[in-house]
């Protein structure tokens, strides 16, 4: 069993970071009453935990605890068993202590 570190919700998408260093995406459009869909899309964050996450229009953002930086991911939809692709990771030690929230403006 893993603990939830951060949660973000936007439209029908729920993005969760857990204590197993995973980033998990659920789509509520596929859920039905009394029978939640077990479709979940995830990626490993290696040895990082995400202290804060955010859902943008195109990307999924994470504040990584170990590297003390922000990375963002693109959802690929499971092509070849890969759900997310890291688009960019900013310079290591971007901030000194864990972030508790991220804000991504609408564009």
Give the pLDDT confidence score for residue 62 in this predicted structure: 95
pTM of the model: 0.84
> Under a CB-based contact definition with an 8 Å cutoff, are residues 63 and 15 in contact?
no
Is residue 64 included in any domain, yes or no?
Answer: yes
Q: What pLDDT is recorded for position 37?
A: 62
pLDDT of residue 88: 94
Report the sign of the C-alpha dihedral through residues 46, 72, 74, 85, in that order. Answer: negative
User: pLDDT digits over 46-100, tens only?
Assistant: 888 999 999 999 999 999 999 999 999 999 887 667 789 999 999 988 888 888 8
Answer whether residue 97 is part of any domain.
no
Domains in the chain: how many in total? 1
The answer to whether residue 98 is domain-embedded is: no
> Domain containing 14: what range?
4-89
* Predicted pLDDT of residue 35: 67
Considering the domain boundaries, does residue 94 fall inside one?
no
In a domain, 100, yes or no: no
Query: Does a structural domain hold residue 80?
Result: yes
């Amino acid at each position: 069993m893993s603990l939830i570190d951060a949660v973000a919700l936007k439209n029908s998408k729920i993005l969760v970071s857990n204590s197993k260093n995973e980033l998990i995406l659920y789509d509520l459009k596929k859920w039905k009453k009394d029978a939640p869909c077990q479709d979940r899309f995830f990626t490993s964050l290696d040895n990082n935990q995400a202290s804060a996450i955010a859902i943008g229009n195109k990307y999924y953002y994470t504040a990584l605890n170990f590297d003390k930086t922000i990375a963002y991911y693109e959802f690929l939809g499971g092509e070849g068993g890969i759900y997310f692709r890291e688009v960019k990771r900013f310079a290591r030690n971007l901030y000194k202590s864990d972030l508790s929230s991220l804000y991504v403006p609408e564009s």
